[in-house]
Amino acid sequence: MIDFLAQDATGLAADVASGQVTPGELLDAALAKVAALNPALNAVVLLQETAARSAIAAGLPRGPFRGLPFLLKDLGCEAVDYPSHNGSRLFADTVYKANSAIYDRMASTGVVTFGRTTSPESGIGAATESAVYGGPTRNPWHLDHTSGGSSGGAGAAVAAGIVPFAHGSDGGGSVRIPASSCGLFGFKPTRARLPDGPYSGEGWAGMSIDGFLTRSVRDTARMLDACSGPDLGAPYSAPTLLKSHADAISRPPRRLRVAICDTTFTGTPIHPEVAEAVRATGRLLENLGHLVTPALPDADVPMMMRAWTDIVAMGTALSVRNGLKGRPLTDDLVEGVSRGATAYAETLSPLRYLEAVGEIHAFGRQMAAAFSAYDILLSATLAEPPAKVGRFSHDTADYLGYRIGPQGVFAYSPFCAIFNASGQPAASIPLGQSAGGLPIGIHLAAPYGNDEELVALCAELELAQPWAARRPTHVA
């Protein structure tokens, strides 16, 4: 059987181009892996084998990933041939009349999409345990642990070798959290680098953006190059790239000023194994010739986290209201956290949305000023190794406690949402591993618009400390 863990998507695409393997054979292999692995993982849903085979028969675009099996996150990424539950019983079996811009751009690379991957309801969780899928999504490295969220199904599917790479999205770490949890590479581009339309003007006040879960930096770079740029009528766009992400990784970056933080950005200690992984990466960067110094960003993180929480609550409430279409909000349609977010949003002043957006923008200026003293901010991706399944269940209706309580998502993931708010590019790279064998992601962030320099640094670290040979060991 074809082994999707043996090489990355770029390597497999070369095999297709040379005739060593056909798109049909790769699709057969992916479907066989779904049958073998998905019962334990619960990561892949809404299979559309007929649409995939029809695409192959019609002739695939001759893009950089022609013939490779691919999965869409089951949240957003609207596509005519791929119905969606959007992670919720409220939106189960939604069909679309037109494709989203991001889907069309991914399709232009020649990928063979054959289904979707699980996500938590409303995309507001750090774990993927949505009721519409009948149970939690589990981590291929240890089935008792979460694969992360909200692109948790994508992370599990790629880490397990069901597909060589997959689509995700990131509004508060939803690509980087699964990347950290599953031992993958996850990159959040600068705000508006990728298109949102036509179904959305902007996601969560511009904080949400699409992305990819990959096993190599070059796979992400090539997919970003294929998908970057605003869609027709976009309200704003990212700064123009100097050349391309692929060009940037073709050579090492300049020697950079790296600020290292082995605590949270407010100075709170994190899990000792995770902190040591951060320090080890700092030493690696020093050995590569970069200047590494301790620092905390001078920015109002608590203000940002509350503003993020309020914006997402209001976005969730709007989505729930639109989905209900006049029906009562009941437990069988909407899960606890989303009900709690909706109830909380209804307590907020109508003026709070614009106030919260203003706070997010002020925070972005604070973070931009912080980066005047350094080029890269190095931290952990998560404050501890991947959580156990059930810890971030959506059963609770205490939305504020779930997000910003002492045991909430922001305590577990205090780094990622910072850069959704600031709009800066950020990445999680799989450089660490816990004593229990669980992946530990290392987080790197750069100034607004400096995507190319950040991805080049990630590629340099990948070359210095390769991770491709690591394989999950707890898949039945």
- Write out the two tokens for 97: 């009349």
Percent composition of the chain: helix, strand, coil (DSSP 3-state, to 5):
40, 15, 45
- Write out the two tokens for 170: 């990131």
Spatial separation of the C-alpha atoms in residues 271 and 108, rounded to whole Å: 42
* Residue 188: active-site member: no
Distances from the Cα of 237 to the Cα of 194, 202, 206, 232, angstroms: 8, 11, 11, 11
Spatial separation of the C-alpha atoms in residues 440 and 140, rounded to whole Å: 14
Which of 122, 174, 181, 338 is an active site residue? 174
Which of 73, 188, 228, 413 is an active site residue? 73
CB-side neighbour CA atoms (13 Å) of 458: 34
* C-beta of residue 452 within 8 angstroms of C-beta of residue 241: yes
Q: Where are the alpha helices (DSSP H) in 288-300?
A: none
Q: Is the dihedral of CA 146, 465, 380, 367 positive or negative?
A: negative
The residues, ordered by sequence, that sit 6+ positions from 171 with a Cβ below 8 Å of its Cβ are 123, 150, 203, 204, 207, 208, 209, 312, 420
Q: Is residue 5 exposed (0-12), middle (13-18) or buried (19+ Cβ within 10 Å)? A: middle
- Write out the two tokens for 333: 């349609």
Question: Phi, psi at residue 184, to the nearest 5°?
Answer: -120, 175
DSSP 427: E
* Residue 244: active-site member: no
Select from 183, 153, 166 the least CA-distant residue to 219: 166
* C-beta of residue 337 within 8 angstroms of C-beta of residue 309: no
Strand (E) or helix (H) holding 353 = helix 352-370
Q: How far apart are the first and last CA of the chain?
A: 17
Question: Phi, psi at residue 462, to the nearest 5°?
Answer: -60, -40
Spatial separation of the C-alpha atoms in residues 121 and 100, rounded to whole Å: 20
Question: Phi, psi at residue 33, to the nearest 5°?
Answer: -70, -35
Q: Is residue 435 exposed (0-12), middle (13-18) or buried (19+ Cβ within 10 Å)? A: exposed
Which of 122, 130, 147, 150 is an active site residue? 150
* Residue 150: active-site member: yes
* C-beta of residue 237 within 8 angstroms of C-beta of residue 231: no
* Axis-axis angle for helices 23-41, 9-17 (nearest 10): 150
- Write out the two tokens for 390: 């059930």
Residue linked to tokens 């156990």: 388
Residue positions annotated with a catalytic role:
73, 150, 174
